[in-house]
Amino acid sequence: MNKFADFIARNQYSHMIILAVLLLVILPLSMDIFRLNLVGKYLTYAFVALGLVLCWGYGGILSLGQGVFFGLGGYCMAMFLKLEASSPENTAIQSTPGIPDFMDWNQLTELPWFWEPFHSFGFTLFAVIAVPAVFAFIIAVAMFKRRVGGVYFAIITQAVAAILTILIIGQQGYTGGVNGITDLRTLHGWDIRTDEAKYILYYINALLLFLALFVAAFVIKSKLGRLLVAMRESEERVRFSGYDVSGFKIFIFCLAAAISAVGGAMFTLQVGFMSPTFVGIVPSIEMVIFCALGGRLSILGAVYGTLLVNWAKTSFSESFPELWLFAMGALFIGVVMAFPNGLAGVYQRYIEPLLLKMSKKDDSPSAPTPAAKDASSDKADTSEETLTSEERKHA
């Protein structure tokens, strides 16, 4: 037990291994497919929380509109899946076969030009990353080149989330409106609604999350990570040292957007739809809460925080349908007041010292036994007698 505690306390990769065992072994073996699919949905939100650790926790850039990039990635994947589900054979009863059903309901007679490239799965994978990253780049250049930051940047990103939500709902014939893009069935002929497909998608989602965790860890430990912390603490000092602060901010904001978009694409695959309810202000603020609860300076804390908040949300809503919002609010307020550094702060303050203490007990030398004491005393007496005889010879 002490060796295990020492491994956890001293090995920086042990925490990643524990999370991997939890997500890839324990949960799939202990949960039915319905609950496991819920965990998979929660893990898609963890991509957003992970991006917030990079741009908010380390870069000091609080974004209240990360749901925008989550939604854009999800909509790109949903467009491909919807086109596959809208083949002329499947839509023969429509007045215009071969186009999505919501377009036919809104009396469109042909597929819009910006939908055409999404017939290609390769382009879709590229667009899942590129579209949110380019949109984030436009926002970041417009703001950071003018040195807009802090609470002003947070409000602007919140406004962008609101504008995009209104735009998606208003353009019902092109986006599916308030209902979103629904009835997604197959991926290259593979039915994503079966239990087997849900298991496979869960593991793909988890592996992509670990890939994102390794990328985030690499960024944090690199020179860029140290510069981000320096910018967070004193942006002017970094600027006067000759660094292009705006360039670093633009990069980390775009990276966080790309990571969030991957989560959105996996959400669409696992849940089977995408709607503007995941793009707006409320989900964006919830995603910030996931990051804050887990610890905004811990990439693993962001994952655990996301899992804990969503598990509590599901449990409260099932057990107390009328009171679950109050219970969630009490949870957030209590954690923020008692543990301002989140779950990661609780671990660093209470659990890690305990593990180190246990490992030191195991490393400390044990007291000598009585037999060992007698043996050592006999050896000392023998050495003294030998020394005395040699002195007599010399004399």
DSSP labels, 303-317? HHHHHHHHHHHHHHH
Do the Cβ atoms of 267 and 39 come closer than 8 Å?
no
- Tell me the average pLDDT across 375-381: 49
Element (H, E) at 190: strand 190-191
Confidence of residue 315 (pLDDT cuts 50, 70, 90): confident
Give residue 3's pLDDT: 54
Mean pLDDT of 372-384: 49
Q: What is the mean pLDDT of residues 170-184?
A: 92
pLDDT band at residue 317 using 50, 70 and 90 as cut-offs: confident
Q: Residue 186 has what DSSP assignment?
A: E
Q: Give the separation between CA 66 and CA 74, rounded to whole angstroms.
A: 13
pLDDT over threshold 70, residue 348: yes
Under the banding of pLDDT at 50, 70 and 90, the label for residue 363 is: low
Where are the domains positioned within the chain?
2-394
- pLDDT, tens digit (0-9, with 9 covering 90-100), for 2-25: 554 454 445 557 889 999 999 999
Q: Which of 113-117, 206-210, 315-319 has the lowest mean pLDDT?
A: 315-319
pLDDT the model gives residue 293: 87
Residue 70: per-residue pLDDT:
96
DSSP code per residue over 42-66:
HHHHHHHHHHHIIIIIIT----S-H
- Tens digits of per-residue pLDDT, 195-248? 999 999 999 999 999 999 999 999 999 999 999 999 999 889 999 988 999 999
- Residue spans of alpha helices (H) in the chain: 2-10, 14-21, 27-30, 33-52, 66-85, 101-105, 121-144, 150-170, 172-175, 195-221, 223-233, 235-240, 245-271, 281-294, 299-319, 324-338, 342-346, 352-363, 370-394
Q: 91 vs 100, 109, 138, 153, 359, CA distance in Å?
A: 8, 13, 38, 45, 65
Give me the chain's average pLDDT, please.
86
The mean-pLDDT minimum among 64-78, 186-200, 358-372 falls in 358-372
Nearest to 213 by CA among 56, 54, 67: 54
User: What digits encode the pLDDT tens for the residues 53-112?
Assistant: 999 999 999 999 999 999 999 999 999 999 999 988 888 888 889 899 999 999 898 999
Structure tokens at 274: 């995408």
pLDDT range class, residue 325, cuts 50, 70, 90: confident
Cα distance between residue 193 and residue 181, in whole Å: 16
Q: Quick check: 351 and 344 in contact, CB under 8 A?
A: no
Distances (CA, A) of 216 to 37, 49, 58, 228, 285: 25, 12, 11, 13, 21
Contact 260, 48 (CB under 8 A): yes
> What integer is the mean pLDDT of 328-342?
76
**Measured between alpha carbons, how far is 59 from 230 in angstroms, rounded to an integer?**
8
Report the run of H or E that residue 191 belongs to, with start and end: strand 190-191
Whether the CB-CB separation of 79 and 269 falls below 8 Å is answered with no
Whole-angstrom Cα distance, residue 264 to residue 73?
A: 5
Confidence grade of residue 362 (pLDDT, cut at 50, 70, 90): low
- The CB density around residue 209, as the number of other CB atoms within 10 Å, is 23
H-run or E-run covering 187: strand 186-187
Q: Which residues have C-beta within 8 Å of that of residue 126, sequence separation ≥ 6?
A: none
Instruction: Give pLDDT, residue 377.
Output: 52
Task: Reply yes or no on whether the pLDDT at 393 is more than 50.
Answer: no
CA Rg value for the chain: 28
Q: Which residue has the tokens 């996996």?
A: 266
In this predicted model, what pLDDT tens digit does every residue of 268-305 receive, in sequence order? 999 999 999 999 888 998 899 899 888 888 999 999 99
pLDDT for 370 beyond 70: no
Q: What is the DSSP letter of 115?
A: G
The whole-angstrom separation of Cα 32 and Cα 186 is 22
* Biggest distance spanned by C-alpha atoms of the chain: 124
Task: Please report where in the chains the tokens 């985030």 appear, as a residue.
Answer: 216
| Statement: residue 395 has pLDDT above 80 | no
* Token output for 279: 């793009």
Instruction: Kindly tell me if the per-residue pLDDT of 154 is higher than 60.
Output: yes
Give yes or no for residue 155 having a pLDDT over 90. Answer: yes
**pLDDT (0 to 100) of residue 319:** 81
Size of the chain in residues:
395
pLDDT at 365 over 80: no
Supply angle C-alpha 331, 337, 338, rounded to 5. Answer: 85
Q: Is 101 helix (H, G, I), strand (E, B) or coil?
A: helix
- Judge whether residue 116 has pLDDT over 50: yes
- Strand, helix or coil at 22? helix
